[in-house]
């Protein structure tokens, strides 16, 4: 009789564990958020994120709470001689958590590790030409988001992106936008939308502006968005996310429909900051 009951008991315990795991995780996170935010951490944010002081008080509080959870759940690894410090962890976490404000979030659930290099790093990448011939090329990168639990960042470029908050270029925002895009699979420029936002409308607006940027890149026409966004829809989403947070006023004036899609997605309006 016991031999029959044992698998049933194990199954019930497993079901109870799986059912209770989200609640336990949420409880742990609430306890982390309830802890006082360290004064030295706040000083780092104020030094490394110039627009932090301009954000409404409730968003500042949210950001600090998100940072606490982020630091508790993610591992930072220094590469090529980088020693991981609170300055590195807080500077990266603060910018990454900007993308989570006012939203129901699971804190980049696929992401486990952030690799930090001292400066831009070289990657050997396999590509194919128009004839289908495979070739290898060396690429110098400031950041990269992988869909199997890792982000790679250049600390030098991270600092520049944080210190100049109005140039529309921020490698941390760019790579973490990719992480949001990758939550439902490979990055394709269409992240998971909430029930109040239309995928059809998102697709129509983004596709139109993506094609415009491709044409601007081909012709060399000036654009608010970096031409790198014309590479593919995933890069376009990441590039416009950078501009959304860093050049909101120009963005909202030049591309109001696209800007509206992002305000609905990110649940914030940086123009107000």
Task: Give pLDDT, residue 18.
Answer: 47
Asked whether the beta carbons of 190 and 207 are under 8 A apart, the reply is: no
Asked whether the beta carbons of 145 and 153 are under 8 A apart, the reply is: no
Residue 55 corresponds to which tokens in the numbers above? Answer: 């954000």
Asked whether the beta carbons of 254 and 222 are under 8 A apart, the reply is: no
Question: Which tens digit of pLDDT belongs to each residue from 152-195?
Answer: 999 999 999 999 989 999 999 999 999 999 999 889 999 999 98
Phi, psi of 241 (to 5 degrees): -65, -40
Q: How far is 111 from 97, CA to CA, in rounded Å?
A: 13
Task: Give pLDDT, residue 12.
Answer: 41
The beta strands (E) that lie in the chain are given as 75-78, 113-117, 121-128, 134-141, 143-145, 150-154
Task: Give pLDDT, residue 50.
Answer: 84
Residues in CB range of 60: below 8 A, 6 or more apart: 52
Judged by DSSP in three states, 188 sits in coil
Asked whether the beta carbons of 176 and 109 are under 8 A apart, the reply is: no
Q: How far is 169 from 223, CA to CA, in rounded Å?
A: 13
Question: Which tens digit of pLDDT belongs to each residue from 44-94?
Answer: 999 998 888 889 999 999 999 999 999 999 999 999 999 999 999 999 999
Check residue 126 and report its DSSP letter. Answer: E
Phi, psi of 144 (to 5 degrees): -160, 140
Q: How far is 78 from 102, CA to CA, in rounded Å?
A: 31
Q: Which residues pair with 116 in a beta bridge?
A: 78, 153
Asked whether the beta carbons of 78 and 114 are under 8 A apart, the reply is: no
Q: How far is 85 from 118, CA to CA, in rounded Å?
A: 13
Q: Are strands 150-154 and 113-117 parallel, antiparallel or unpaired?
A: parallel
Check residue 56 and report its DSSP letter. Answer: -
Residue 263: name the closest of 57, 108, 103 by CA. 103
Q: Is the pLDDT of residue 13 over 60?
A: no
What confidence category does residue 23 fall into, taking pLDDT thresholds of 50, 70 and 90?
Answer: confident
Question: Which tens digit of pLDDT belongs to each residue from 207-262?
Answer: 999 999 999 999 999 999 999 999 999 999 999 999 999 999 999 999 999 999 99
Give the chain's length: 273
Question: Which tens digit of pLDDT belongs to each residue from 111-158?
Answer: 999 999 999 887 766 656 555 666 566 777 889 998 889 999 999 999
Domains of the chain: 25-167 (1.10.472.150), 188-273 (3.40.390.10)
Q: Is the pLDDT of residue 3 over 70?
A: no
């Amino acid at each position: 009789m016991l031999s029959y009951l044992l698998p049933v008991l194990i199954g019930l315990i497993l079901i109870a564990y799986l059912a209770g795991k989200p609640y336990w995780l949420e409880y742990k996170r609430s306890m982390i958020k309830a802890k006082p935010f360290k004064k030295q951490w706040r000083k780092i944010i104020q030094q490394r994120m110039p627009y932090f002081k301009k954000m409404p008080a409730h968003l500042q509080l949210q950001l600090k709470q998100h940072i606490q959870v982020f630091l508790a759940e993610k591992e930072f690894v220094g590469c090529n001689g980088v020693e991981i410090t609170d300055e590195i962890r807080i500077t990266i976490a603060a910018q990454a958590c900007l993308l989570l404000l006012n939203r129901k979030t699971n804190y980049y659930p696929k992401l486990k590790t952030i690799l930090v290099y001292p400066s831009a790093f070289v990657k050997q990448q396999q590509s194919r030409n128009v004839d289908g011939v495979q070739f290898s090329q060396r690429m110098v990168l400031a950041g990269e988001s992988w869909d199997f639990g890792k982000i790679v960042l250049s600390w030098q470029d991270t600092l520049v992106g944080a210190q100049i908050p109005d140039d529309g270029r921020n490698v941390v925002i760019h790579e973490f936008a990719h992480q949001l895009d990758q939550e439902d699979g490979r990055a394709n420029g269409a992240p998971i939308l909430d029930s109040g936002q239309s995928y059809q409308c998102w697709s129509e607006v983004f596709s139109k502006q993506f094609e415009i940027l491709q044409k601007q890149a081909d012709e060399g026409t000036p654009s608010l968005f970096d031409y790198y966004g014309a590479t593919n829809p995933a890069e376009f989403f990441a590039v416009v996310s950078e501009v959304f947070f860093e050049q909101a006023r120009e963005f909202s004036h030049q591309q109001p429909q696209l800007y509206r899609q992002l305000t609905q997605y990110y649940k914030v309006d940086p123009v107000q900051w």
